[in-house]
Amino acid sequence: MRSDFMLALQQLADEKGIQIEAVVNALRTAIMSAFEDYNSDYDDIDIEIDPETGDSTVYANKTVVDVVSDDVHEISLAEARSYDQTMELGEIFQIDITPPNFGRIATQKARQAMQQALRDAERLEIYTHFIEHQGLLLVGRVTRVENRGVFVDLGRGEAIMLPGDQVAGEFYRSGQRMRVLLLEVAEGGRGAQLRVSRAHADFVRRLFEREVPEIQNGLVDIAAIARDAGVRTKLAVRSRQEGLDPVGSAVGMRGSRIQNVLRELGQEKVEIILYDDEPRVYVANALSPARVRNVHVDLSHRVADVFVPTDMVSLAIGREGQNARLAARLTGFKITIRDASEPAEALGVAEPDGTPDEEAKQDDVDAPLDEPGLSPESDSARMAEHVGRGVAGSGS
């Protein structure tokens, strides 16, 4: 059965949300600090706390020697054996140096040190807890909304969502519960500094990982994400298992999985596209829902000229250039949209030195992307486009 002393320590640990070992260590540190104020001669000491009574004993660590030259750090073999017959030269002997009435003195002097040690232990416990959850989704409650940010209670700590981490068009109010991405955990003077986000691209990544089992178990991989928070997101997926449709897996039966993601994102549109190792196909896929006729790429400079039918130019570019901009961020290519009805004057523009490779040029012209085997519009891609447009709005 636990003593009253240990039960009191356990209660204190529960109140602070820390382990009882941390409380005992804090108490030991506080007693050591009190002893150092009382007696500064000994610098190698151990504190032992009786778990039944809470009484503390101070021991000095001394090396057993033949002839003592330092009374503080050494003890003779004869004296050591007067306490313990098994002691040998070179061993460490602990001798009780607890001052008289030290319990009362320690109680008076250790209080402040104990409080500080507990605060340090509490901060460390909170930091350790949250650093394990960095990069993951958490559910919090808004405590207050200020100009400098939205403060969110995460249970064991309060986080801030800076203006840049907020989604344009979303309104936050005190008491509101919402899902956030724990973006950063830093140590600060007042404990762990927590930063959360709803605008980061990984917020969408984690939502899909949560909804799609194939992503959780590694059968489907999210290759890249490009996001304009609150407006539109493009997500490129690929399969790690032959025969598995990654786009269909992410969309779900009748769009059930993507619907759950869209409910969390509000008005934001989401397009799922198929990643391809062939840059030309990948760039074409990224410009969905526009239909692409041909792509000319310069791999060394990451430049892509994309030829689309005349009636697809505005769709490929998107409202205020958004579709092309997100496609560029998704693929890592600088993309220029060109009208395929005038291909002659545009050929070779992806070659910075102005001397395009004639063979590469010819390949681009003679191998349009709408040939079988090169089409960017698989059945699953069309399904994702349909879901994205029917649920999340126009793709333009």
pLDDT in the model for residue 333: 96
Domains contained in the chain, CATH given: 4-131 (3.30.1480.10), 137-199 (2.40.50.140), 202-392 (3.30.300.20)
pLDDT at 365 over 70: no
pLDDT at 138 over 60: yes
User: Which percentage of the chain shows pLDDT scores above 70?
Assistant: 80
pLDDT at 187 over 60: yes
CA dist 101 and 113 (Å) reads 19
Joined tokens for residue 139: 């559910």
pLDDT in the model for residue 4: 67
pLDDT at 367 over 70: no
Instruction: For the chain, give the mean pLDDT.
Output: 82
CA dist 101 and 35 (Å) reads 12
pTM of the model: 0.67
pLDDT in the model for residue 108: 64
CA dist 204 and 225 (Å) reads 8
CA distances from 65 to 77, 80, 151, 206, 242 (A): 6, 9, 61, 63, 73
pLDDT at 37 over 80: no
Instruction: Please answer whether residues 211 and 261 qualify as being in contact, where contact means their C-beta atoms are separated by less than 8 angstroms.
Output: yes
pLDDT at 372 over 70: no
pLDDT in the model for residue 346: 45
What confidence category does residue 383 fall into, taking pLDDT thresholds of 50, 70 and 90? Answer: very low
Higher local confidence (pLDDT), 362 or 8: 8
Across 86-107, b (16+ Cβ under 10 Å) vs e yields ebeeeeebbeebbeeebbeebe
pLDDT in the model for residue 326: 96
- Find the distance separating the first CA and the last CA of the chain, reported in whole Å: 71
CA dist 258 and 41 (Å) reads 69
pLDDT at 29 over 60: yes
**What's the rounded mean pLDDT across residues 19-47?**
78
pLDDT, tens digit, 9 for 90 and up, residues 236-295 = 999 999 999 999 999 999 899 999 999 999 889 999 999 999 999 999 999 999 999 999
pLDDT at 309 over 80: yes
pLDDT in the model for residue 368: 56
pLDDT in the model for residue 189: 63
